[in-house]
Amino acid sequence: MTFHFLLCDACGAGRHVSFYDDLTEYDGKWPQNPGEDPRYDEYVELIAGHCACGGQFTFDALIRCPRCRSTDVDWDKDNPSVLID
């Protein structure tokens, strides 16, 4: 499955929005170049909605520690991947 993964701007919880199931009605058609249309990200965030904590799922939310929710995250310079369970 291919999807967008958005994080809550308040608690860091994640939510996915499928490319195929949820976005087919974007302005009545599938966008040819989603990255070139500023409304596309807004539409995906609208579909993702609000988190149970009251925050909003966004593309711009900071990655947080899953235990303490801190945004003070140390990065491994030898392995730039982010793994989320």
Instruction: Tell me the pLDDT band of 10, cut-offs 50, 70 and 90.
Output: very high
Instruction: Tell me the pLDDT band of 85, cut-offs 50, 70 and 90.
Output: very low
Q: Where are the domains of the chain?
A: 1-85
Q: Is 5 helix (H, G, I), strand (E, B) or coil?
A: strand
Residue with the two structure tokens 């966008």: 31
Q: What pLDDT does 8 receive?
A: 94
For the question of whether the overall pTM of this predicted structure is more than 0.75, the answer is: no
Q: What is the pLDDT of residues 21-59, one digit of tens each?
A: 555 555 555 555 666 777 778 888 888 999 999 999 999
Give the contacts of 55 (CB within 8 A, at least 6 positions apart).
8, 9, 10, 11, 13, 61
Q: What pLDDT does 66 receive?
A: 74
